[in-house]
Amino acid sequence: MKDVDIYEHDPDGSLYDPRARTAMGRLAGHDGDLRAFEASAAVRTAWHAVERMRAHGSEGRGVSAGALDLLIRLDASERGISIGELARAAGVSSRNVTGLVDTLERDGLVRRVPDPGDRRSVLAEITPAGSEWIEAFRKPSRLAMKALFQGFTPEELVVLRDLCLRLAANQQRLAAHLRQIGSQP
């Protein structure tokens, strides 16, 4: 439990990382909001924790975390999904998704099918083997999520979800604004 011991408690009982606080304090400077910088560092730390858990579960089964995201989205879809839609949903480039679909198709987990609504387009859809893969992944995923979010109340999980999505929405608005003015996010 060496990693757990790196965190300390503020007077109100909330956890903080003293190393991150020091580093973020330097970055924020005297006129910056240290809380925002610390929150950003904590989000990144939490993201890495979730990704390590997902990677452990998916890569041991021969599928990258990105490919896992696509399989989950395709498994939940009634019909196939275009490469562009998958890219937008995952927040990555169409080129990235094309490579993932190529790999999943080669492994027999996904196939490309004609788009009935647009003859010029193709959709990616999960195969029966892909559905079986997802079904085998469900139980260990449930156990991992239960362990990862141990001690959280249902209300806290809703608040955490809301805060993370609000953060993502703010980033999307900022990126759109920067694209409008010709700057890069």
> Does the pTM of the predicted model rise above 0.85?
no
In whole angstroms, what separates CA 161 from the centre of its chain? 12
Q: What is the pLDDT of residues 9-51, one digit of tens each?
A: 999 999 999 999 999 998 888 888 999 999 999 999 998 888 7
Whole domain around residue 181: which residue ranges? 151-185
Residue 56 — pLDDT band, cuts 50, 70, 90? Answer: low
End position of a domain, from candidates 26, 41, 60: 60
Cα–Cα distance measured from residue 13 to residue 130, given in angstroms and rounded to the nearest whole number = 45
Is residue 113 included in any domain, yes or no? yes
Q: Is residue 39 part of a domain?
A: yes
Could you give the number of structural domains in the chain? 3
The CA distance from 42 to 15, in Å, is 10
pLDDT band at 119 (very low <50, low <70, confident <90, very high): confident
**Per-residue pLDDT reduced to its tens digit, 168-178:** 889 888 888 88
